[in-house]
Structure 1
Amino acid sequence: MQIKSNKLDGKWITFVLQNNNNMEVHILNFGGIITKILVPDKHGNFENVVLGYKNYQDYKTDSSNFFGAIIGRVAGRIKKAYFELDGNKYELEPNDGANHLHSGSNGFHRVLWDAVPFETATEIGVKLFYISKDGENGYPGNVCVTVTYMLNNNNQLIIDYSATTDKATPFTLTNHTYFNLSGNLKNLIQHHFVTVNSPYYLELNNELTPTGEILNTQNTTFDFIQGRTLNEGINSDFKQNKVVGNGYDHYFLFDKNQIGKIKIIEESSGRILNIETNHPGMVMYTANNLEKGIELDNGPSRKYLGICFETQGPPASLHHETLPTIVLHKDEIYNKQTIYSFGIQL
């Protein structure tokens, strides 16, 4: 296993993690962005299975796609760009219509993180550190954040998230990587076969914020317990698929008695991705709003070119108390983990 680092303009650094199987993960200290993941297909061909810009300078101006980035303090949409906490009302930046998306235009995806590479007997990785000051982007409390990327020889990429605060604050992190297991963006993601242990999802309104209604996935295009292709939801006339622009951009609640589990199979390449997390749910986003013609590393962007599995808590809990809370209190430790395991179906 080895770690390489390449200095870019100014203080930007790319870290390349490579295990003994030649799997590679490329990470920027800017935004904690995963720019590439190279894994083999069933024929042994190593290809990139995530979306990233061809020119790294474009990450500086990315205000809507969030390719591969750490999202925080709060991942997802906060309705009407405000929340109330401990008797105080906090106004946030409305950067998605009237709503607040992914912590605003200067969230953690725009942070130049302090980065320390490391190696142990079983893994290599990079630890990223940042202190988010009280009042930053409208949020209360000084928050000390650590995000750790780790790669091992089981072809697992592990992301550990930890944080503490000196004042109660909403806090839920995610990584916004777009996956495409066909490799080098050869195909769209409609035929990815996805399984999720989620019996419920959150209903969305026309502004893509949850209404507070928790809907059963059973007998709908949102039922992924036995697995289905994404194409079924993308081409569905079901109102909840249509409201997001034909596809998915919804929060799925995992079975509360189990850890969150997601499995993705791409038949043409034979690639499999298993995801496990201790987050209570995740947003599955099928790139319904991805603009056409952005210059990516393996070709131009287009709708449905990638899929995000944004493991996180539900920001809608700030307005709907029936959902799992995302408030981090003083003297609590935020400790979440998501594991991405890559394999082959022969």
Structure 2
Amino acid sequence: MPTATSFGHTTDGIEVQLFTLRNARGAIATISSYGGTLTSLLMPDKTGQLGDVVLGFDEVSGYQSPAFRKSNPYFGALIGRYGNRIAKGRFTLDGQDYGLATNNGPNALHGGTLGFDQRIWQAALGTSAAGETLTLTYHSPDGEEGYPGNLTVTVVYTLTADNALRLDYSATTDQATPLNLTNHAYFNLSHGTSKDILSHEITLAADRYTVVDDTLIPTGELRSVAGTPFDFTMPHAIGERIAQVPGGYDHNFVLNEGLRVTASVYDPASGRTMAVMTDQPGIQLYTGNFLDGSLTGKNGTVYGQHAGFCLETQHFPDSPNQPDFPTTILRPGETFRSGTVYQFGVRH
């Protein structure tokens, strides 16, 4: 059965729980009630040795430290109401203008100043036919961070028998509201034996990406990846062409329709593989460009630039202001549902 232990206390004295899911193969996932944060994920390498493949901290204080809040990398957290950026922190919905906190230059990012990543989620442990589960629920009141509507979000983490971590998202609202939910795990499949992820080989089922301006807001153009450093339709090491991308990869890729495996990653050093499956229209590849060595995580690991990569399944950035993008508006009477699977394996 899954278990719960104390993960310490928040800066305002609330006790945070840490939940542990296991499977018969020895894989272990731990998730915090603070931010619904995936704090560790132990998966075997090609020799059968378990290693932690996500960045994070040993206790909740790490996620609230001044250094963490300053750089705000969102390690492992559930992101909402709106993952990624909204231009100038403004959108119009059904003729009404809404203003959000601008917490990323001129733009709103990842739900605002106090997004879902900093909230305490209600938790229930369980088991399903697929494996041990953790069900997390958060009620976001009307007006929170400037968003309309009372929103109820449920996220179910499942650690499956075949070494996959599944996230199932659902949400309902009593007023129309933008919604873009994701998880912001930073992966390093080498279990910290490599200080960066530049040698990881990645494949993306994406023929196009959303071109962005200098504040990382989409221009509206969906450009072909062909002949560019954004072409991962065949495997490429992350570091192979990253120098050709000013600042590194932090871009939304437009996923090809009808394909279930949307991304795959291989770490030659450990032999670990990770496949990402999702029903979302986009995936954000972020290569830890802003990590600068100011954060020390689990086992005393210093997180420098490119220490981890993110593959955030999502709708496109700034969709509320981009009518040609797939809609992110959830309306009363509707239920938002989405699933993302991180499937781990090895290559010998």
Pairwise TM-score range, normalised by the shorter structure: over 0.9
* Structure 2 match to 1:261: 262
Cα separation, 2, equivalents of 1:137 and 1:260? 34
In structure 1, which of residues 65, 69, 76 is the aligned counterpart of residue 84 of structure 2?
Answer: 76
Residue 302 of structure 2 is aligned to residue 294 of structure 1: no
Change (3 A) 1:200 1:260: farther
Unaligned segments of structure 2, at least 5 residues: none
Cα separation, 1, equivalents of 2:192 and 2:22? 18
Matches within 5 A, 1:206-221: 206-221=214-229
Matches within 5 A, 1:127-206: 127-206=135-214
Cα separation, 2, equivalents of 1:257 and 1:39? 29
Cα separation, 1, equivalents of 2:37 and 2:193? 18
Shift of residue 185, structure 1, vs aligned partner? 5.0
In structure 1, which of residues 17, 23, 32 is the aligned counterpart of residue 21 of structure 2?
Answer: 17
Contact 1:282 1:311 in 2 (8 A): yes
In structure 1, which of residues 323, 333, 336 is the aligned counterpart of residue 335 of structure 2?
Answer: 333
Cα separation, 1, equivalents of 2:343 and 2:146? 36
* Structure 2 match to 1:41: 45
* Structure 1 match to 2:273: 272
Shift of residue 332, structure 1, vs aligned partner? 1.1
Paired amino acid for 2:323 = E
In structure 1, which of residues 65, 80, 85 is the aligned counterpart of residue 73 of structure 2?
Answer: 65
Q: Deviations over 1:226-271 (max 9, x none)?
A: 12111123122xxxx11xx1x2000101012333511000011000
Matches within 5 A, 1:290-329: 290-298=291-299, 299-329=301-331
Unaligned segments of structure 1, at least 5 residues: none
Paired amino acid for 1:342 = F
Cα separation, 1, equivalents of 2:344 and 2:145? 36
Per the alignment, in what secondary structure is the counterpart of residue 47 of structure 1?
strand
Shift of residue 118, structure 1, vs aligned partner? 0.3
* Structure 2 match to 1:96: 104
Shift of residue 60, structure 1, vs aligned partner? 2.4
Cα separation, 1, equivalents of 2:259 and 2:130? 27
Shift of residue 197, structure 1, vs aligned partner? 0.5
Paired amino acid for 1:345 = R
Q: Deviations over 1:191-223 (max 9, x none)?
A: 111011001101111111111111111111111
Contact 2:90 2:99 in 1 (8 A): yes
Contact 1:260 1:279 in 2 (8 A): no
Contact 2:218 2:317 in 1 (8 A): no
Residue 229 of structure 2 is aligned to residue 228 of structure 1: no
**How many correspondences in the alignment?**
338
RMSD (Å) for aligned C-alpha atoms: 1.2
Change (3 A) 1:141 1:260: farther
Farther-moved stretch of structure 1 (309-318 vs 181-190): 181-190
In structure 1, which of residues 123, 130, 134 is the aligned counterpart of residue 131 of structure 2?
Answer: 123
In structure 2, which of residues 17, 27, 33 is the aligned counterpart of residue 29 of structure 1?
Answer: 33
Paired amino acid for 1:112 = I
Cα separation, 1, equivalents of 2:260 and 2:135? 24
Change (3 A) 1:162 1:208: same
What's the TM-score once normalised by structure 1's chain length? Answer: 0.95
What's the TM-score once normalised by structure 2's chain length? Answer: 0.94
Contact 2:86 2:319 in 1 (8 A): no
Paired amino acid for 1:32 = G
Contact 1:251 1:281 in 2 (8 A): yes
Cα separation, 2, equivalents of 1:132 and 1:185? 40
Per the alignment, in what secondary structure is the counterpart of residue 179 of structure 1?
coil
Cα separation, 2, equivalents of 1:79 and 1:166? 25
Contact 1:126 1:150 in 2 (8 A): yes
